[in-house]
Chains A and B, each alone.
Chain A
Amino acid sequence: MVEVNLWSGLRRFTDGELVVTVEASTIGEMLDALKAAHPGLAPVIDAGVSVAVDGEVIAANYALPVRPDSEVYLMQKLKGG
């Protein structure tokens, strides 16, 4: 199980929870599991998000692993100039 920290604007889709736990071993599985557990998150995730795993912000690459002890944050999608 992986603990996922959400941004506070998403609480209304998770019954007020800021940290949700899902079964996943990759970023992609984690996002799919989040959508399955909290369908209200689906439009947000489908519109594009970044994920921070153990301090590194990853704008894409859903194949990267997440471990049970990983620190995981869902973030606004990053882009640069």
Chain B
Amino acid sequence: MPKDELKSEYKLVGTRPDRPDGLDKVTGRARYGADFSMPGMLFAAVVRSPHAHAKILKIDASKALALEGVKAVVTRADFPDGLTGEDWNLQENTIANDTALYDGHAVAAVAATSALLARDAAKLIEVEYQVLPHVTDVDEAFAPGAPAVRPGSADHSVSSREVDLPDNVRHNVVREIEFGHGDVEAGFAEADLVREGTYKTEATHQGYIEPHACVGQMGADGRGEMWVCTQGQWFIRKFCAAVLGIEASGLRVTASEIGGGFGGKTTIFMEPLALALSRKAGGRPVKLVMTRSEVLRATGPTASASMDVKIGMKKDGTLTAARAVFRMQGGAFPGSPVDLALTCAFASYKLPNVEHIGYDILANRPKCAAYRAPGAPMGAFAVESLIDEMARELGLDPLDVRLKNAVAEGDKSSYGPTYNRIGLVEVLEATKAHPNLSVPLGPNQGRGVATGFWFNHGGETSVSVSVTEDGTATVSIGTPDIGGLRASIALMVAETFGIGYDDVRVNVVETGALGFNEPSHGSRATFASGKAAVTSAQSCIKQMCQRAADKWGIDAEAVEWVDGAAQPAGPNAGKFPPMTMKEIAETMGATGGPISGHNETTMDGVGASFGTHVVDVEVDPETGRTTILRYLVVQDAGKAVHPSYVEGQYQGGAVQGIGWALNEEYVYGKDGRLQNPIFLDYRVPVASDLPMIDTVIVEVPNPGHPYGVRGVGETGITPPLPAVANAIADAVGVRMKHLPMNPPKVLAAIKAKANG
């Protein structure tokens, strides 16, 4: 959408200036995780289990340590005992104790004077395994007779009662969830049409282009530094400190530029290994850079899911009741996003009767990490596919069915609370009005529609803004800039001060420079760091008004801030020419000292976001290949601070979802080993696969943010999975219920349909 189409009362917020980090990135000056180097630095390599499940009987590093240039080897014995809960999970995932829990699980690590030597040394570390039975599929892990992945891991929700599951299944169920309202059976009885279906999605990886990389340095005193590619340097500090048994304040963490994260870089994987190796190697810095294969085998993909959905609908499309039973495995550790998947599943709909049941299940796969609206895309695939199927069966327009049941302010959500101001109806109406919907379709072409939801998140936030001595402003934020954050923060701060966009410098700072910050996750960075930056700037403005008042000899209350300058608030305040920010800054040392503002809070005022996607596909009936002809994203941004970046988030979410829908999946062999741990075999969409993704920014301002911002990063990946499935159903009449919808599967479905 061109800039002039966005109505705005603001001078800067809503415009599209160049990104402040653009020059560094196009000239190669920007430093990513693997770009950090230090004098005396060692290089690390990790020994990983080739087995999905195996007892570690013995680790012999003597041959590796005998190589000249090998400086340290660490195993679990170099880490403290006694951790509990998620700290233990993180430590166990960082390096296995006595059992390797998945193919790629780290068992040992070595540091040497070159990367090549470290890799050679890793091959010389001998590990003796006793292979154990394994399970990787979510339904097989939930089935009677499944191998127990980690008996005794269940939380209170399972262990506090006798669930009606066989004992061996209970071993792998670590959490049980149940919530809802109304009477679903009565709701189904009211319906004219009741349908149910079972849907499966496979695990996919966040697929960030930059692999995990860090340099860690730690001395025998437990103090150290880390330079790392991460979405959250405070989380790196917190988790590394827990896993290593050191004080958090002893570790200083600096985030590099980041080549994508999508949730996968909100936790630790190999970072404590670099620090442990450094400590053992006399404090020399240790660089650890993962290969793509390591990224796919050993860092968090999302969960795989198996989902039953039942929905009741009246002839006019009104929903009467719904039930979802979701099973998700998130690897060998608790924490699949089954809870969030359920919470988002029916969030777009007014439902008087709804029931959600979920099982978090263990399997011999890597520990899942957050992935863009964790869980929501899977739930949407199941629910939006069934809604679409029922609408078609009743001869109703799928968009009209969504509008008929769409939630608005004051409606009770499917997960309980009453919605505040939300923009789903506006999104659906903007979708209906878009010209893409009137493009005629040809043979084997189809159109699919789906809607998605994400809560968005506030989170712990610390920001500082200082008035620079020349009248510009410097902003310190703790949330790494993944998708244009520095530009967005600069726009909001410049707008607040009434100065130019180029007069604001935003820095992502290290953990010693601010109070705690949660990562750039939960679509929170522009919302929360932005809100805290505006609050901090307003504090600076208050101080600058005071300085002007002191100079003029009037009360500070009689001074107002307009267009970057202090001025008397009215004729009664006296006649003084405006005092600009530059003038105040140049003399601030003599008028009371430096001027800065800061804000530390667990941010409130979050606004949820809804989006609707419309995709046109063509399916080749001879090969089963699906081509995306055109794709539309319509989403509520609250207020688009920098519309280009908002559109980029919409497009990126759509593209990742298209990949998940059509191609991407973790393929495990019968031996439990990942069969496709490189991008050649793990196929993400590339530019030549796709048309330009069309976008419409709907702006229903969030009353909880000074500029109306809602998070925009995650909602966009929620609708694509069902939207593409619905389009394929429209094109060739086959209903795909198991992702990915790759050519062999679609072709088999077409043939099965032809054969009756």
Alpha-carbon gap, A10 to B201, bound state (A):
29
Most buried by B among A7, A47, A81: A81
Q: Do A71 and B417 have beta carbons less than 8 Å apart?
A: yes
Known contacts A44-B157, A75-B416, A81-B370; decide if A56 and B523 are in contact (CB<8 Å). Answer: no
Q: Is B262 an interface residue (CB 8 A)?
A: yes
Please, which residue of chain A has its CB at the minimum distance from the CB of B410?
A55
Please indicate the chain B residues that have their CB under 8 angstroms from the CB of A64 in the complex: 604
Contact of A79 among B160, B177, B522, B704 (CB under 8 A): B522
Q: Separation in Å of the B378 CB from the closest CB of chain A?
A: 13
Q: Is B469 an interface residue (CB 8 A)?
A: no
Please, which residue of chain B has its CB at the minimum distance from the CB of A18?
B181
- Using a Cβ–Cβ cut-off of 8 Å, how many residues does chain A contribute to the interface with B? 29
Q: Which of B583-604 contact A (CB under 8 A)?
A: 601-602, 604
Contact of B416 among A5, A9, A79 (CB under 8 A): A5
Q: Do A81 and B714 have beta carbons less than 8 Å apart?
A: yes
Alpha-carbon gap, A12 to B156, bound state (A):
12
Q: Is B645 an interface residue (CB 8 A)?
A: no
Please, which residue of chain A has its CB at the minimum distance from the CB of B371?
A81
Interface 9-residue window, one of B32-40, B312-320, B457-465, B471-479: B457-465
Q: Do B263 and A81 have beta carbons less than 8 Å apart?
A: yes
Alpha-carbon gap, A8 to B714, bound state (A):
28
Please, which residue of chain B has its CB at the minimum distance from the CB of A5?
B416
Q: Do A81 and B521 have beta carbons less than 8 Å apart?
A: yes
Alpha-carbon gap, A47 to B457, bound state (A):
19
Q: Do A75 and B522 have beta carbons less than 8 Å apart?
A: no
Q: Is A36 an interface residue (CB 8 A)?
A: no
Q: Separation in Å of the A59 CB from the closest CB of chain B?
A: 6
Please indicate the chain B residues that have their CB under 8 angstroms from the CB of A61 in the complex: 458, 601-602, 604
Q: Separation in Å of the A78 CB from the closest CB of chain B?
A: 6
Please indicate the chain A residues that have their CB under 8 angstroms from the CB of B418 in the complex: 54-55, 71
- Give per-residue flags for B514-548: 1 if the beta carbon is below 8 A from chain A beta carbons, else 0: 00000001111000000000000000000000000
Please indicate the chain A residues that have their CB under 8 angstroms from the CB of B372 in the complex: 81
Known contacts A52-B417, A58-B458; decide if A47 and B179 are in contact (CB<8 Å). Answer: no
- Give per-residue flags for B602-628: 1 if the beta carbon is below 8 A from chain A beta carbons, else 0: 101110000000000000000000000
- Give per-residue flags for B400-415: 1 if the beta carbon is below 8 A from chain A beta carbons, else 0: 0000000000000001
Please, which residue of chain A has its CB at the minimum distance from the CB of B266?
A81
Q: Which of A29-77 contact B (CB under 8 A)?
A: 40, 43-44, 47, 52, 54-61, 64, 71, 73, 75-77
Known contacts A8-B180, A79-B522, A81-B373; decide if A60 and B417 are in contact (CB<8 Å). Answer: no
Q: Is A80 an interface residue (CB 8 A)?
A: yes
Please, which residue of chain B has its CB at the minimum distance from the CB of A72?
B417
Alpha-carbon gap, A61 to B124, bound state (A):
50
- Give per-residue flags for B148-174: 1 if the beta carbon is below 8 A from chain A beta carbons, else 0: 000000011100110000000000000
Q: Do A44 and B156 have beta carbons less than 8 Å apart?
A: yes
Q: Do B521 and A79 have beta carbons less than 8 Å apart?
A: yes
Most buried by A among B156, B266, B418, B601: B156
Q: Do A56 and B521 have beta carbons less than 8 Å apart?
A: no
Please indicate the chain B residues that have their CB under 8 angstroms from the CB of A80 in the complex: 263, 370, 373-374, 454-457, 521-524, 714
Alpha-carbon gap, A30 to B601, bound state (A):
20
Q: Do B460 and A73 have beta carbons less than 8 Å apart?
A: no
Please, which residue of chain B has its CB at the minimum distance from the CB of A57?
B455
Q: Do A58 and B604 have beta carbons less than 8 Å apart?
A: yes
Please indicate the chain B residues that have their CB under 8 angstroms from the CB of A57 in the complex: 417, 455, 606
- Give per-residue flags for A2-39: 1 if the beta carbon is below 8 A from chain B beta carbons, else 0: 00010111001100000000000000000000000000
**Pairs A–B under 8 Å by Cβ, sample size 19:** A8-B180, A12-B160, A12-B161, A43-B160, A54-B417, A55-B417, A55-B418, A56-B604, A59-B458, A61-B602, A71-B417, A75-B416, A76-B179, A76-B339, A76-B343, A80-B522, A80-B523, A81-B374, A81-B522
Name A's B-contacting residues (CB within 8 A).
5, 7-9, 12-13, 40, 43-44, 47, 52, 54-61, 64, 71, 73, 75-81
Name B's A-contacting residues (CB within 8 A).
155-157, 160-161, 176-180, 206, 262-264, 266, 337, 339-340, 343, 370-374, 415-420, 454-460, 521-524, 601-602, 604-606, 704, 713-714
